[in-house]
Structure 1
């Protein structure tokens, strides 16, 4: 069937088709069933061929990933066989043919490739800052061999403990390390082509921090014990143990001793049990808590690593009264030995609750006091309330516009038919007539009527400063205080002042003056 040539990019995924071939029998015999196979060639294991049942074409596919840098040309020999042969044409056989296929692999720009799929680096925790702890390498697999630059993915190194040389890939520390804080650091290094930064790849780097003996041993817990006043000599009162944050490949070995400055004067002795524990023993018989209630015993703890680390811890020993069996009866450390007190957080919560309760009580009392206070106006029907809050200054005794004086009226003395008295007095009198006995009677009645009106009508202010105020007239304990209520009093009245009102009132002055004279006679 001839020779075929195909091109396949090196990035072609496996099982992807790259070309088709077709045998002649498939065109002549519509019932032909063609079977294709690769018989030989240098890419026998790199490519495969299958038959398209509809078109009887051979489909060439990629079986493995191509690499232009390793091999860029493959030559295959493909054989096509007709599996459905008409017996009438058997003498024409054989019913198969072969063809040569050339496959050219095309170069594709690929990202850099690291020398390892992952890196593991070990570093001691006391390494100085800016010390190189390891190196990663990556190269461009393309023929161009583009240069590569390196960087650390900061999402994997938020604290910026490590950095990398962008040119050669050497990793160095930018901060101090502490194995006791973090044993492993897992970072990611990125390699990208300088000419095409989009072509990049990543590799994980696992950094293990190795232990260095840089921590001194210390007590496993806080020790505060007691000794009985009636204690005997060489009596064990406390057993001590220690821990070390550092790691030890052969196991920790601690030693205990009393600090040299206190060893000679101490009232206690310390015995190292050689199993990372030690015991405190009494050194004398009997202790007196009134003379010394508390002893502080300094203990030195050392390890066996290199360099040797040691620390001084203090044991508090209180002197207590005990029974004959050594059970404590009373001691200054009772609160410490029997910790039944409240924590600081609980005390703060209790104080806050008390404060909130007090504030609530004060607010409640203030609200109740405000409710008990009488309102300024109890009822709209109580006419007295209208003058309680009156705080205006009037214009004198003739100021009738400052407030409604009708609110001061005596309810028993109200008469809607009364005439106003704030008009000129002359308009209230009848024209002057000739004095007769009948006229005198009419005038007397007239005057009496006006006097009565004056005494019983407080609707308008009089020309003097006094008037009948509410609850000050009839029904009042003080009775009426009006100077005009002459008809209800027994005292004599002097009407000579009517002459000062003019000629029209002279008749009244004569009339009432004569009546007074008749009474006197």
Structure 2
């Protein structure tokens, strides 16, 4: 029989439910059982102990107790929910763990054990001898709850030795909390080994105690090694989180949503990495409350913006922030802090004028006076660049009459007149003034960055004195105008009537008194001759200071500039009338003319030579134009060297001319600077005279010729007994003749037959013969040679002079004159080049 649809559905559901229960039973197994020793009485919210939940089910997301009298926290801490009393049998319950993702469940059985008392065992009398076993006790974990309420003394642990089965054992302990600080916190019952705590302990002061237990017989024999025992103080959530004293943050206005403002940090003295120190942050209150601008991250304490703040709406916010431990659960401890958030200003509000137009007035000619103050509104922070105003005159101040500045205290614009206004020119001035901030505008919309207003300035009329306008006036006068001539002078006028009647004039400053000023008309009368080319005028200009006064005594001062116009009253002239022409190197020279008149009365110049003047030399000289002010003079027909006086006429463009005599030095030179005139001025081509240098050259040539002839005559004497002479100008490079046919002995001895000649040079010349050879020797002051007188270049023997010496010092025997000798070849090398130079020089002098 086929199953019905309803039966099939029920069958399928049953199979799935059976499978689910089978899987649930398979995974729902018990973990390791945990035993906790507790006192007989437990108060509500008392810490019982901590269980490691991860060893049983690491991924548990649901934790609860099977007994409602106990509460289980995420870290495995067990707390009582009400006052509990235990019997001697204790009490059990289970911690249920579930993983909803994996559909897995676990449970941990918890056994609460009440304290027990053991009856001490007596040692048998027959056991007279005790044998030490030296066994090491296993450390027994032990813990106490901080801030326990008792009752005290409270049993916390019991130690026992296996030797107690056969012997009477006494137990004792030592260490911190016993015989060290804090003293008498723990003690042990000698017979039972029960350890008791005498008072409450603060974990934040002592988190554990390392004590040592001992087991001995009544006679002091240690049956076991000392037992190290660690007593840990379990943390109680007795410390609330703590904030800093003062917290202040700031954030700029108009910042984007999510901008970080700051971070609050609270600390908790309880045990780290437990729920007792797991904090959650919350903003309890914001002042002002609405709208909400800030949020805080519950775990990190970072405060961020959730709405853009506006400083102009609220410059400061106050937040009350709470930090709560136990992961923010309602039974956790908490504390609060008050923090301040200041909103920083930015220039998001442009200044605006309080009025769209202003009207003010000022008297004409007033300057440096304040005429108006303009005020603006700005919502930005005062006394900052975002608030301070900058005023600008946009239109209407083209003449620079006005100036506007900012009052640093009131932020007002102070409008001033810095240059006087003229009622007759403008009775009203309209200004457009704009205002901005010192800091750039950061708001939205560029049209809001500048605000404008209109200021109408009415000019008030006042009775004024004469006006000297323009300040400098000009009048033209021709030079050489007749004395007493009247010309136009300075004119002042009444600015209101625009008339010059009733105004009197006076010359305040006329440097040289060339003019007189008419008192009623202001015209000028010439008192002295006007010469434009004189030093009185600078570029033909002359200034006179004039004062004008009205009937009321009000005055003004102006300057009358007199321009002296040029007339052609000066002919051109040649300033340099002496020129040099080096005949062999250059054939002409330049002649330049000048004219002190204006260019319109000056160049181009016309240079001419008079045709019937005897100085011109029958067409020897001629002129050729260089430019408008210069000409070139040149010669032909090969005139003789000398100085020629040539008249040259110069005519300006209007026909006014002058004649100047130009002295032309026709010289035998290379450049004009080397020319030294050796002749008198030449009157004609055949008149020749000799200069002083030519005469001197002729005298020197004759003297030189005489010296040469004298030397030749003296050199032809062949007898050694004949008295020989030597010319006085030996050092002047005269010719020395020797008839020696072959070199002889280079030594000369003094003998009685040797003749000497004293010469004016102070040197004694010795002439003698030995072995048919003649030689010349020079003795200077005794023993010297010519070598000391030699040198490079053009030298003489003047350095050998030292007075009149003879060979008397050589007489009286054969004295060898080694120091006085000079060989023939050396004499020849010394004299021949110099004789040739002297001959050439003499020839040149004679020719000149």
Please tell me the TM-score bracket, short chain as reference.
0.3 to 0.5
Question: Comparing both chains, which one has the higher relative contact order based on Cα–Cα distances under 8 Å and sequence gaps of 6 or more?
Answer: 1
TM score, norm. by length of structure 2: 0.26
Point out the structure with the larger helix share: 1
TM (normalized to structure 1)? 0.40
Q: Which has the larger radius of gyration?
A: 2
